[in-house]
Amino acid sequence: MTVKLIGFVLCITVISEISGRSLPSYIKPCKRDDPNINECLMNLLENIRPYISKGIPEMHILPLDPVLVPSVTLKQDSAGSVNFVALFTDLKGYGAKNFQMQTIKANFKNQSLEIDLNLPFFRIESRYEVNGKILILPIKGNGKFVGNVTNAEAKIKFDLIIVKKKNNKNFIEIKPKKITLELGAVKLHFSNLFNGNKQLGDQTNRFINDNWKDLMKEIRPLLEDTVVTIVMGILKPVFETFSMDDLFPV
């Protein structure tokens, strides 16, 4: 089976190569060699939570709640039971501001970062266009989509690679290495399936919701890639804008 994320566009501000930019004054960075760096990072995130949800333009962090994503294309070709193309456009995700950081493990010596993040509730609203087959049923239509996800937990490991860049400054390149995603409960609704045929539409929505765990098994890699792409859209600009000395002073 091949599972592919064929298109994903994130609206990321173009990074201007401004040197000498400093962190907003309300951010007290953690020291690189702080023996309690993980605890320090947890506190730092807690302190800047209100700023993160509204966005921090000085750090190229776009608003997180709602998080806006222009489009996501999910395409699954397989000889198996799930076979569809779904295009979601104009996505708005609500609830990210209530994220709970369960664990942060940062280690510059072995160049690793691990985060374990829980979202108690997340709602996605978008337009959709879908055509294909899910398990035993055909699915086709376009209209409004709503997805409610309870207790999403993502564990992500990153490599932190230190590279010397402009002005001889060290920057951290952050690269995703591994993700595992678990969803507690999922409730989806596609409006206007089959040109608004209510009976077929209701039946398909009910079927998807009754069988979301099986569906999830099939499209897990796709969802994991999507989560990584969104998380990287948030983290990468920060690490590209600020040097290691700015973010983690000695």
Ligand X SMILES: *[C@@H]1O[C@H](CO)[C@@H](O)[C@H](O)[C@H]1NC(C)=O
How far apart (Å, rounded) are the C-alpha atoms in residues 5 and 176? Answer: 16
Member of 189, 211, 216, 229 binding ligand X (CB under 6 A):
189
Per rule CB under 6 A, is residue 192 in the interface with ligand X? no
Nearest-approach distance from CB 201 to ligand X, in angstroms = 13
Per rule CB under 6 A, is residue 42 in the interface with ligand X? no
Cβ-contact 210, 167 below 8 angstroms: no
Nearest-approach distance from CB 157 to ligand X, in angstroms = 7
Listed in sequence order, the residues at least 6 apart from 123 whose beta carbon sits closer than 8 Å to its beta carbon are 93, 94, 95, 146, 147, 148, 149
Residues 86-125 close enough to bind ligand X by CB under 6 A: 107, 110, 112, 123
Q: Which is nearer to ligand X, 22 or 110 (CB)?
A: 110
| Residue 73: how many other CB atoms lie within 10 Å | 17
How far apart (Å, rounded) are the C-alpha atoms in residues 34 and 170? Answer: 19
Per rule CB under 6 A, is residue 187 in the interface with ligand X? yes
Residue 69 zone, left/alpha/beta (φ > 0; ψ -120 to 50; rest): beta
Tell me the per-residue interface mask from 140 to 179 with ligand X, x by CB under 6 A, - otherwise: ------x-x-------------------------------
Question: In which element (H, E) is residue 227 found?
Answer: helix 212-241
Per rule CB under 6 A, is residue 21 in the interface with ligand X? no
Residues 69-88 close enough to bind ligand X by CB under 6 A: none
Nearest-approach distance from CB 11 to ligand X, in angstroms = 24
Nearest-approach distance from CB 110 to ligand X, in angstroms = 4
Q: How far is CA 153 from CA 38, 65, 118, 121, 221, in A?
A: 19, 18, 4, 11, 15
Residues that bind ligand X (CB under 6 A): 107, 110, 112, 123, 146, 148, 187, 189
